[in-house]
Amino acid sequence: MPPILPLIGLALGAGALLLAGGARARDGDLIRPLPAETGDLSAYRWEKRPVVIFGASAEDPDVRRQIEMLSAVRSGLRDRDIVVLTDTDPKALGRLRTGLALDGFAVLLVGKDGGVKLREDHPVTPDRLFALIDRMPMRQREMTE
């Protein structure tokens, strides 16, 4: 009969690897496409701060630049409960894009309360986004907890 302690150690090690892999998979979810049928962002209310990037295509230079800037600061996104959503297919007539009457590049920051906190027609630096969020009363409370 094999010793039980090495088997338990092996099981714990395998479990840790699975958990680490899950964390990486969730990290990849920080930036994801916005489904065309999404008409509002109520699913994120009180949990996340969506940053929504709209563009004419995934190859739009402003879209690429915005995604590159945000990809470089993933820990800052996680710290502030930010999820980045992209809509780069105007032909899909996404409900959110249509409802906001957007044409061309735009980036929106939506607060946890569901209100639009920032709307720009050019890429926004992570420093600017983070500074704006860090001044919000809800974020101030989060930083003290």
> What share of the chain in percent tops pLDDT 70?
81
Phi, psi of 37 (to 5 degrees): -80, -5
Average pLDDT score over residue span 6-28: 38
Alpha-carbon gap, residue 35 to 85, rounded angstroms: 9
**Measured between alpha carbons, how far is residue 19 from residues 11, 38, 58, 98 in Å?**
12, 30, 31, 39
Distances (CA, A) of 8 to 17, 82, 137: 14, 37, 46
Please report which confidence band the pLDDT of residue 23 belongs to, taking 50, 70 and 90 as the band edges: very low
Q: In whole numbers, what is the pLDDT of the chain averaged over residues?
A: 84
pLDDT over 60 (residue 133): yes
pTM over 0.75: yes
pLDDT at 121 over 90: yes
The tens digit of pLDDT for each residue in 94-120 reads 988 888 888 899 999 999 999 999 999
Quote the CA–CA distance of 90 and 97 in Å, as a whole number.
8
11-15, 48-52, 78-82, 96-100: which has the minimum mean pLDDT? 11-15
Q: Give 53-102 as a 3 state SS string.
A: EECCCCCCHHHHHHHHHHHCCHHHHHHCCEEEEEECCHHHCCHHHHHCCC
Burial of 129 (0-12, 13-18, 19+ CB in 10 A): buried
Q: Is the pLDDT of residue 93 over 80?
A: yes
Mean pLDDT over residues 124-131, rounded? 98
Residue 25 corresponds to which amino acid?
A: A
- Distance from C-alpha of 39 to C-alpha of 33, rounded to nearest angstrom: 14
Q: Is it true that domain 30-144 has CATH number 2.10.109.10?
A: no
Cα 90–chain centre separation:
20
